Chains A and B, each alone.
Chain A
Amino acid sequence: MLKMLKLGLITTLILTMTIGCGQNKNESATGGQTKTESTAPAKQQDNVKLVYYGWNPSEEQMTKSMIEKFEEENPNITIEYFAYEPSSYWPKISALAASGNLPDVFEMSSGYVDEWASKGLLHNIQSMVDRDIDKNNYFTSVFNAVKYPDKETGDMYAFPYAWVTTVLYYNKDLFDAAKLEYPKKEWTWDDFLNAAKKLTIDKNGDGKTDQWGLYLFGRYAHIEPWVYQNEGRLLNEDKTKFELNANGKEALQFLTDLTVKHKVSPSPKDITGIKQDEMFGQGKVAMWVDGSFAIDGTRKTVGDNFNWDITTIPRGPNWKEDMTYGWPDNISISKNSKHAEEAWKFIKFMSGKDRPIETYSGGKVPIYKPTANQQAWLETDKQPASKKIILEQGANIGRNSYTKSWSEWRGYAAAKGSGLNGELDQVFDGQKTLDQAIESVTPFANEVLSRK
């Protein structure tokens, strides 16, 4: 009996092992280009394999064809490419970093550059940038976002391939129906409020608003633009403390009044359960502030249902010059990569003239100016008509509130209920006054920021 038992155990164990391994082998044989070990031996002396991780799985095919082109031009370099969507991407590359296998090249968010650079995980690319990059051809104003330790004087630890900004979306048909002039760049907050009031309509007289002037979704891309257009700040100068200045508070108060006092925007609890980018797309609101990256999705939801356009965020009472909230998306080289030069070559390729314009559809702007300036980028056959205002904002991007542990004190994504985001939601829902919220979030944020 014992024998039988042992035998059974061993066979089951072996069976599993072979299923796992066998699968692995079989598939890699049939799998094609992704396994690079088997590719033909090119020039022996400097054959280099780079591992590249990206966060755009739905652009996998496009990326693969770019890589093929790169490999054709550089026969001694092969690229092994993997893509994961962002909420899997970060755990994955963090785990890889922990096991000492960080990919040579990987995509890097502006919000994480400081953190990853401070841990010695990123390669300082400043000297290579100085050597190879013709500054006239790039939107260099957004380079600051990837500098460390200081955003002005530090060195670059990642290289942008695209940047995005925040804009005011508006529904032209609703403006026409209310016989109002379209929003324009010079709009002040008063102009904005007046229009918003007239666009807030209870169509059937049941006491419930059916159409709102604005949809204020209280996350970073929807709040910060107003703060910066009023010369406001959430943090102190060197970003070590949460210190909402008077202008910043004025902006938050204005937004609070829009929701609580004038009721031209639904409160967060009024629209719980609706995906935030659907409100504008469904024609339920006349105006909406969000990142330019939402253009693509808005095109899909709106279709031909109504006319819409974009402009810059209205200017606050303390406005001095247009200050835009935007950020670049970047590619980094791992500090441990043995092939930094080849990796840099690849990054230049991925962010330069060879990156096809189709990857920048909607409001994603190529960092490489000649591509951005092509007529094709404006997509004049599609809405919105004023896409070029995005390009103009390239020079105005400067301020942001990214810090270490930003997700925690700001309340980001899957943690939207915490930090400043959670507090502001309470204010917009009428549960707290703005002062109470600031009083409550300041010590919390400062404790998070003071952590080593």
Chain B
Amino acid sequence: MHYGKISPYLFLLPTLLGLALFRLIPVGVSFYAGFTSWNIYSPPEWVGLDNYTEMFKSKPFWTVLQNTLQFSLVFVVSVCVTGLVFAVLLNAKLRGIRFFRGLFFLPVITSIVAVGIAWNWILTPQAGILNLLLEKVIGLTESVSWLGDKKYALYSLTMVYVWKNVGYQMIIYLAGLQSIPRELGEASKIDGANSFQSFFFVTLPLLTPTVFFVLIITIIESFNTFGITHSMTEGGPYNATNTLSYFIYQNAFVHFRMGYASALAYVLFLLTLLVTGIHFLVKKRWVKYQ
């Protein structure tokens, strides 16, 4: 379809305007800040590559980077799969399904402070609900500190993140499912396919653009987590739940090392770009448009 030379830019005008004025200028400045020592309240000083060399030599950075990758992997897989399962379930024609749609979205809305307090109570070894439950069900004898033990802390926190955020992915999938004509699935059922087959061979291929979108968005999200870490563990115990985005916050607004934080941010940026870039490259192989 040919739309002429000018109209694409007219359609993009607000986006380009906003991008140039409000996004690219700050990004340019913060990229520059990565090469300075800057505490925000007094002017930045040029230090060349010092921030980057410090980063690669610092032990906390590598711990945090490892946590980030671990977190990201578990988070992305869990959210993308669970979100899809929920969406498919909630797309069913059942009585009261809209009520459950609201219910499943509730964690996304619930305030992060309340989420932090409530989940801390579920996971605490001091008569925490999860431990009490496990005691009754599988006869757990010692109380596990889900967020205080280095072995479990990062995974426990990841699960809370999944619980809190999966509603987003769920409604995106739902929106995607809505655009797939229901008749297609029903037609295949008449042809003798069971619901699993009709989902995997008819619905899912049509949903691939949405799956792709969710995947990319979730990867980006997984590298930019902050709220629940802040309200639950603050990166503890001993940095076991500290991820790059939280580390950036700590450096920027707890230690006031904006220069270092900026350098970290661009390492995080490159990492995200790399991981998402790979997916864009192999996109053609599995994403099918109608």
Contacts and interface: CB of A to CB of B under 8 A. Distances in A.
Interface of A: 2, 5-6, 9, 12-13, 87, 90-91, 93-95, 97-98, 102, 115-116, 119-121, 208, 268-274, 284, 405, 407-408, 412-418, 422-423, 425-426, 429, 431, 444, 452
Interface residues of B, number: 43
B234 interface: yes
A418 B239 contact: yes
Given A271-B124, A417-B241, A425-B238, 16 more contacts: A9-B14, A12-B14, A97-B42, A116-B41, A119-B41, A121-B42, A271-B125, A274-B124, A408-B254, A413-B254, A416-B236, A417-B240, A417-B242, A425-B236, A429-B237, A444-B59
Nearest to A448: B255
B189 interface: no
A159 to B, nearest CB: 20
Contacts of B40: 91, 94-95, 97-98
Contact of B37 (A9, A268, A271, A452): A452
Given A407-B255, A408-B255, A414-B250, A273 B121 contact: yes
A384 B146 CA distance: 36
Which secondary structure dominates chain B's binding surface?
loop
Contacts of B253: 87, 90-91, 414
Contact of B145 (A2, A208, A269, A417): A269
Contacts of B124: 271-274
Given A9-B13, A98-B41, A405-B255, A417 B236 contact: yes
Highest count of chain A CB atoms <10 Å: which of B59, B124, B148: B148
Contacts of A429: 148, 237
Given A98-B41, A119-B42, A417-B242, A273 B13 contact: no
A73 B215 CA distance: 64
Nearest to A91: B253
Contacts of B143: 208
Contacts of A87: 253
B194 interface: no
B60 interface: yes
Contacts of A90: 253, 256
A429 B147 CA distance: 13
B277 to A, nearest CB: 31
18 contacts: A5-B11, A93-B41, A94-B39, A94-B40, A98-B40, A121-B41, A269-B237, A273-B120, A273-B125, A273-B147, A407-B254, A415-B235, A415-B250, A417-B233, A417-B235, A417-B236, A417-B237, A422-B236
Interface string B140-158: 0001011111100000000
Nearest to A88: B253
Nearest to B128: A273
Nearest to A406: B255
Contact of B250 (A274, A284, A418): A418
A123 B11 CA distance: 53
